[in-house]
A and B are shown apart, each in its own frame.
Chain A
Amino acid sequence: MICSFCDKEFDEQAAEKQCGQCSLFGGCKKVKCPHCGYESPKQPQSLKWLSKIGKRKK
């Protein structure tokens, strides 16, 4: 995943590991860039399916 703020790349799953310390008990459904702290919403499952289908067609 590429951070929308600092443009650096990070692993979405690795970034999610840090969410355990969060005080939003239900989870915020966002991913925090480990480089600058900027948060972006997780990509919805529907979009992931679409991109998978797109890749298969290619």
Chain B
Amino acid sequence: MSSMEVSAKNVRDKTEAKPSGSTHSLTRKVLLVGSPNVGKSMLFNRLTGRYVIVSNYPGTTVELSKGAADIAGHKYEIIDTPGMYSLSPITDEEKVASDLLLKDHADAVVHVIDAKNIQRMLGLTLQLIEASLPVILVLNMSDEARQLGIHIDSAKLEELLQIPVVETVAISGKGTAELLHRIHHARPARSRLIDYPAAIENAISAIAEQLEEDQHLSCRTRSLLLLQADPQAMDTCPVFEKNVDIEFVKDTTGDCLSKLDHSVHYHLTWAIQEEVKSIVAGSVKLPDSRFIGFREKLSRFCMHPVAGLPILFVVLYFGIYKFVGGFGAGILVDFLESNIFELYINPFVVKITSDWISWQPLYDLIAGEYGVITLGIRYAIAIVLPIVGTFFIAFSILEDSGYLPRLAMLIDRLFKRLGLNGRAVIPIVLGFGCTTMATMVTRTLESKREKVIASILLALAIPCSAQFGVILGLLATHPYALLAWALFVGAVFVLVGTLLARFFPGEKPSFYMELPPLRLPRLANVFIKTYSRMVWYFKEILPLFILASFLIWLGDLTGIFQWTIKMLTPLVNAIGLPDDASIAFIFGFFRRDYGVAGLYDLQKGGMMTGNQLAVAAITLTLFLPCIAQFLVFKKECGFKIAAITSVCICIIAFTVGFIANSVFNIFGLVL
């Protein structure tokens, strides 16, 4: 905005505007709101100076900073609110910010946004305008936006939004003087920018008629918040009013929902985003830079149902197959196994133990075939850790680049075509990290149907990071076996998912999310994420591997282990595997990666062909989940469903293993 325009607007403001809100009080109140990391606190310091009071918001541990400012001889209290993304709060911080906005009757609400990400942040501005709050939009970091080639026509934006718009650079203080002037002349927004679907508009009108007029907050916003509130927790809604007929609101909400194909929240978000797009198109000029263009194109390609698949293939081939399978499972495991454990650690442990311990069972516990060190710790450190470590590096790079949400969108589209549930994308993507944790995340799904479908698919066909990594390592030297494994497990996933979706009829809710930007991963972030995951994983698996070794030793001592092997052997033979593979399946009862590590040992000993490796990997992937996942499944879906699912999973695993082996034999395939 030019200085001429600023001064012209100032003149207009001086003549027309009256400070809103508590004009009668001596100190006027200003709220600084906005998402985290937009420079709100820096701007707060610019506006208030040094003397700041930091206190907890009553009844919470959320901190609020308050300071004072003097504008044109009037005293102002400036409050830096916690970060918030929308008026419908999720976190404690957002609840506090929302409470302050809706209940505190501020004289000015300064919405600070990062000018570089205007499209992501303008949604909240529209909500504040809709609430008739005295909002001022601050385009902070406007210098950085300009450097990136983003040109925002703030005069046009001001015209479209019908609220004051100020460009600032909080670090240098640029624009602060104009902002103070605008704060002094703030007045409630009066424009209505968003049109929702007819069913929602009717519900808003019906609820609004029940509400008493409030000069600080529009009936429209109060109705919208009540419409989105959980009926079970209506009285915790920030705009809950004692004279509101809750039953009427619930009936109206129910009636409104029955006329919509998606949730109210979905339609609201969609309508706001559409309006934001049109406002941005009319007031923001995006850069011509080739890099930004490439990034945006790549982002769209990643989510495209056709173009997204080759990108996914490249990610899987280079990021997972070559890096995890080739480097992690090949070079690193070989080095640790052959050069460290076999040359130094195992001989040293065997020597020390045989020198000092004469009681054979105790010797076996420490250094025997299934010993705690020679098996448990060796599996954990020499086999699983390097594979999982490289997997975590690849996963952290994908995470930090912003590829995962795009993968979720891509999978969501494919899921819908297969008749599967779109909302299950997050737990399924998470399942590749840890299926146990992902089973917990199914709790975020709305209906029991969705929870059961997602939990069964997780337990059956999604290998956790450790198992996935070890399978890749196991089959890296037999690419056709790896392809066969992917085809069989993928087919089971699609078939079981489609059958479950038919077996449990119900609505298929939509999945949507605000996409973070696609960016180059930062080395420090990748390191922190990888290190945190490795520490977490190591702490979790090491005690379990040691416990498993101990239990196997106990079973060996009592004869239970041999008896179980004897019982499993016919089953294992039926799918074309050697007797010794039974041991891997027993290991798999403790953890699936422990089982696959057992197969790794057999492969190294030259005891399995490519076909057998593929069959074993398919069966073990589909095999029972680990003990922890069973317990979580039981808790989330009940013992009956968990027990039935576990039995079905065992049957499916061995049946598919049998089919795979038969297919290989009938067609004479050598993998």
Q: For the complex, count residues of A whose C-beta is within 8 A of B.
A: 31
What is the CB-to-nearest-CB distance from B381 to chain A, in angstroms, rounded to a whole number? 18
Shortest Cβ distance from residue B311 to the other chain A in the assembled complex, whole angstroms = 18
List, in ascending order, chain B residues with CB within 8 A of A4's CB: 399-400, 404, 529
**Contacts of A13 on B, CB cut-off 8 Å?**
61
- If the complex has contacts A11-B93, A34-B91, are A23 and B440 also in contact, measured as CB distance less than 8 A? yes
Q: Mark B381-424, 1 if CB is under 8 A from A, else 0.
A: 00000000000000000011010110000000000000000000
Q: How far is the CB of A39 from chain B (nearest CB, A)?
A: 5
Main secondary structure of the interface of A (DSSP, over half): loop
Given the interface pairs A6-B514, A23-B636, the reply to whether A39 lies near B91 with Cβ below 8 Å is: no
Cα A6 to Cα B404 with chains together (Å): 9
Contacts of B405 in A (CB 8 A): 5-6
Q: Are B535 and A24 in contact (CB under 8 A)?
A: no
Asked if B441 contacts A11 (CB within 8 A), the reply is no
**How near does chain A come to B643, taking the closest CB pair, in angstroms?**
16
Name B528's closest neighbour in chain A (CB-CB): A47
In the complex the two chains form, is B436's CB within 8 Å of A47's CB? no
Contact with B along A4-22 (1 / 0, CB 8 A): 1111111101110000001
Q: Interface with A: B50-58, B200-208, B319-327, B627-635, which one?
A: B627-635
Chain A residue nearest to B633 (CB atoms) is A23
Given A9-B36, A24-B632, A35-B90, A44 and B399 contact (CB-CB distance below 8 Å): no
Find chain A residues with CB under 8 A from B443 CB: 37
Cβ–Cβ contact B444 & A23, under 8 A: no
Interface contact B93-A38, CB-CB below 8 Å = no
B interface list, Cβ under 8 A from A = 35-37, 61-62, 83, 85, 90-93, 399-400, 402, 404-405, 426-427, 430, 433, 436-437, 440-441, 443-444, 513-514, 516-517, 528-529, 531-533, 535-536, 539-540, 628, 631-632, 635-636
Instruction: Please name 8 pairs of A and B residues whose Cβ atoms are closer than 8 Å in the assembled complex, sorted by A.
Output: A8-B85, A9-B36, A11-B93, A35-B90, A35-B91, A39-B433, A40-B532, A43-B528
Instruction: State the A residues within 8 Å of B (CB).
Output: 4-11, 13-15, 22-24, 28-30, 32, 34-44, 46-47
9 tightest CB-CB pairs across the interface, nearest first? A7-B516, A23-B635, A9-B36, A41-B536, A37-B444, A4-B399, A44-B535, A41-B532, A34-B91
